[in-house]
Amino acid sequence: RPAHRSRRAPQTPLARGGRERSGMQQVLRQIQEAVEPVLERSLTKRRRQEFLASAGPLFLCLTFIEDALRVLLRWKEQMSYMTVTMRMSGWLGGLLLIFSLVTQMTGSVLVLRPKEVKPSRVKVGCYTLLAFVFLQPFMYGQARDADFMCRSVTLAGGLLLLIWSENDRKQRSEDMGLPSGMESTSSDRLQLCGRVLLTFLFFFQAVYSENGGMHRLWTAPSLFGLISFVVLAGLAGMVCAGFKTEWSALLLCGILFLSNLYMYPFWSIREGLRDFYRYYFFQTLSIIGGLMLLALHGPGGISLDKGMKKAI
């Protein structure tokens, strides 16, 4: 009698698929176990705050440093713009360019000087840069450009937040000689003003952007346009109201950084438009710096986050 041989049932595609999914889940679990400790160490609140405290002021000043260096290194082109396009006399155009160079570099150096160098002149630097932001559209004939003006207002909001953070730091370290309630109310109003100004660009992009603003929903409806409007308007509204401020500001940082790489890749643009793209690229980085400062220091007392904490 021949020996009985056991035969395995043929594997069905369902069984093979189940084992493949099990193997994939095991690989994903191993990756998660390896990545989680690294993220927990690197994304702690303290590490995040240290990064934002260093990167925020630096990013905020990048557009001023870049613009000042452009004036210095491309003097002939700048003079040609002032005399031909703006129709200024040679001495007035040169005087305004020197004013632009000195003001932007001085303000940036005062903001970025090491904290160990005393006394601190951060507020002086911020006020200097604020004055330039106010005068710049009129100097270069951009006062009627809505996008440029919204960017300038947004940049001013970032500078106001830096002034507020400096006031808050001094208030914590020394007695200012004022009643705490009066000082707190004044500081909160300044922070609110900076926070609202910081959202101007995002509301403008949500409504008028050529790549998906609200007006495009009527002229050329698209799913991307709808999503773009909802995300930008929603996050800008959260920042403006001070709701979940840290994470909404960080999300806006990420969106703005990616859109900046897509919309203003000056390194791959022909020479005639390269300066324009470079300027807007670095100006967008400065707006990101303002959002970093907001994520670092929080929304202040006049905000939904603060109201919810009081309620709790």
R_g over Cα of the chain:
26
Residue type, 149: M
For 148-164, the pLDDT digits (tens) are 898 999 999 999 999 99
Question: For residue 160, what are the contacts with CB-CB under 8 A and spacing of at least 6?
Answer: 126, 130, 190, 191, 193, 194, 197
Q: Cα(55)–Cα(296) distance, rounded to whole angstroms?
A: 10
> For residue range 169-196, what is the model confidence (pLDDT) as tens digits?
777 766 544 445 555 677 788 888 999 9
* Token pair 């999503």 in the structure block, residue: 227
Q: Tell me, what's the pLDDT at 213?
A: 52
Answer yes or no: is pLDDT of 39 > 60: no
Over the chain, what is the mean pLDDT? 81
Predicted local confidence at residue 49, as pLDDT? 84
pLDDT surpassing 70 at residue 2? no
Task: Give the count of alpha carbons within 13 A of 175, CB side only.
Answer: 3
Is the Cβ–Cβ distance between 118 and 97 less than 8 Å?
Answer: no
> Which of the pair, 132 or 21, is modelled with greater confidence?
132
Neighbour-count burial for 226-254, b at 16+ CB within 10 Å, e otherwise: eebbebbbebbebbbbbebbbebbbbbbe
How much is the average pLDDT of 39-58? 80
pLDDT given at position 301: 79
Structure token digits, residue 18: 């189940």
DSSP code string of 119-160: S--HHHHHHHHHHHHHHHHHHTT-TT-HHHHHHHHHHHHHHH
The model's pLDDT over 71-114, given as tens digits with 9 standing for 90+, comes to 999 999 999 999 999 999 999 999 999 999 999 999 999 999 87
Nearest to 251 by CA among 210, 190, 199, 295: 295
Q: Other CB atoms closer than 10 Å to residue 221's CB: what's the count?
A: 9
pLDDT of residue 312: 41
pLDDT at residue 35, rounded to an integer: 62
User: Is the Cβ–Cβ distance between 81 and 44 less than 8 Å?
Assistant: no
Long-range contacts of 133-140 (CB under 8 A, 24+ apart): 133/159, 136/100, 139/96, 139/100, 140/81, 140/86
Share of the chain above pLDDT 70, in %: 76
Contacts of 232 (CB under 8 A, 6+ apart): 202, 203, 205, 206, 209, 255
pLDDT at 302 over 90: no
Q: How confident is the model at residue 311 (pLDDT cuts 50, 70, 90)?
A: very low
- Give the confidence band of 294 by pLDDT, cuts at 50, 70, 90: very high
Mean pLDDT over 51-61 rounds to 93
At residue 67, the pLDDT reads 95
